[in-house]
Amino acid sequence: MYIYGKVMPIARREKFFIIFAYPGVSGFLHIGHLRSYTYPDIIARYKRLRGFNVFFPAGLHASGLPTIGFSQRVARRDPVIIDHLKKHGVDEDTIKRLENPIYAIKFFAKMYIRTWRQMGITIDEDAFCTTIDEGYKRFIRWQMKKLEENGYLIRKPHYSPYCPNCGPIAVDPSETDVSKGGDASIIETSLVLVDKGDVVVPISIPDMLEITKVVVSLGRYYTVNVGGEKWLVHGESVQKFIWQKNGEVFEEVNAVEKVIGREISIGHNDIPVEYSKGKPWYGSGIIGNVKDRQHRYEKIQRILDFDREVVCRCGARVYIRPVPDQWFIRYSDNEIKTKAKRHIEKMDIVPEEYKINLREKIIDWYDDRPCSRKGRWLGTEWRGWIIEPISDSVIYPAYYIIAKYINKGHIEPKQLSDEVFDHVFLGHGDPEIISKKTKIPVDILKNMRHDFDYWYPVDLNCGGKEHKTVHFPVYIMAHIMIFPEKYWPRGIFVNWWVIGKRGKVSKSKGGAEPIPGLIERYGADVIRLFYVLAAEPYSDIVWDMRKLEKYKNVLEKIKCTIERLFEEEEGLLSDWLLSRLYRTTIDYIELMNRYELRKALMRILKFIEDIDWFSRRGGKGNRTVAGALLELLHPFIPFTTKELSERYGYNIVKISIKGRINEEAEYEEELLQRTIAIYWKLRKIFDRKGLKPKIVKIKTANKREKEIIEKNIEFLKKEFRVKVVVDETIKRMAKPKQPTLEFQF
Question: Which pLDDT score is estimated for 599?
Answer: 98
Question: Which pLDDT score is estimated for 514?
Answer: 58
Strands of 285-444, DSSP E: 286-294, 300-306, 311-312, 319-329, 348-350, 369-370, 372-373, 381-382, 385-387
571-598 tens-digit pLDDT? 779 999 999 999 999 999 999 999 999 9
- Residue 701 sits at φ, ψ, to 5 deg, of -85, -20
Helix (H, G, I), strand (E, B) or coil at 601: helix
| Distance, CA of 273 to CA of 11 (rounded, Å) | 76
Residues of the chain with pLDDT > 90: what percent? 79
Write a three-state SS string for 623-644. HHHHHHHHHHHCCCCHHHHHHH
Question: Which pLDDT score is estimated for 506?
Answer: 61
Nearest Cα to 644, choosing from 521, 561, 533, 549? 561
Domains and CATH numbers, the chain: 2-151+328-500 (3.40.50.620), 185-307 (3.90.740.10), 515-648 (1.10.730.10), 673-744 (3.30.2320)
**pLDDT exceeds 70 at position 513:** no
Question: Which pLDDT score is estimated for 503?
Answer: 60
In terms of residues, how long is the chain? 745
**pLDDT exceeds 60 at position 3:** no
* Buried b / exposed e along 128-141 (16+ C-beta atoms within 10 A): bbbbbbebbbbbbb
467-494 tens-digit pLDDT? 999 999 999 999 999 999 999 999 999 9
- Residue 530 sits at φ, ψ, to 5 deg, of -60, -50
**pLDDT exceeds 70 at position 602:** yes
| Distance, CA of 121 to CA of 23 (rounded, Å) | 14
Q: Per-residue confidence at 502, pLDDT binned at 50, 70, 90?
A: low
Q: Other CB atoms closer than 10 Å to residue 724's CB: what's the count? A: 22
| Distance, CA of 451 to CA of 11 (rounded, Å) | 9
The helix (run of H) or strand (run of E) holding residue 414 is none
Q: Quick one: DSSP state of residue 621? A: B
Nearest Cα to 143, choosing from 367, 374, 387? 387
Q: Are 435 and 446 in contact (CB under 8 A)?
A: no
| Distance, CA of 617 to CA of 615 (rounded, Å) | 5
Question: Which pLDDT score is estimated for 147?
Answer: 98
Backbone CA torsion sign across 673, 678, 681, 685: negative
Q: Are 314 and 72 in contact (CB under 8 A)?
A: yes
360-419 tens-digit pLDDT? 999 999 999 999 988 778 999 999 999 999 999 999 999 999 999 999 999 999 999 999
| Distance, CA of 29 to CA of 112 (rounded, Å) | 7
Question: Which pLDDT score is estimated for 485?
Answer: 98
> pLDDT higher for 291 or 383?
383
**pLDDT exceeds 90 at position 626:** yes
Its pTM stands at 0.88
Question: Which pLDDT score is estimated for 504?
Answer: 62
Q: Looking at 279-293, 480-494, 510-524, 724-738, which range is the least confident one?
A: 510-524
Say if residue 519 is exposed, middle or buried (CB neighbours under 10 Å; 0-12, 13-18, 19+): middle
Nearest Cα to 17, choosing from 491, 480, 423? 491
Question: Which pLDDT score is estimated for 447?
Answer: 98
Question: Which pLDDT score is estimated for 10?
Answer: 46
Q: Other CB atoms closer than 10 Å to residue 711's CB: what's the count? A: 11
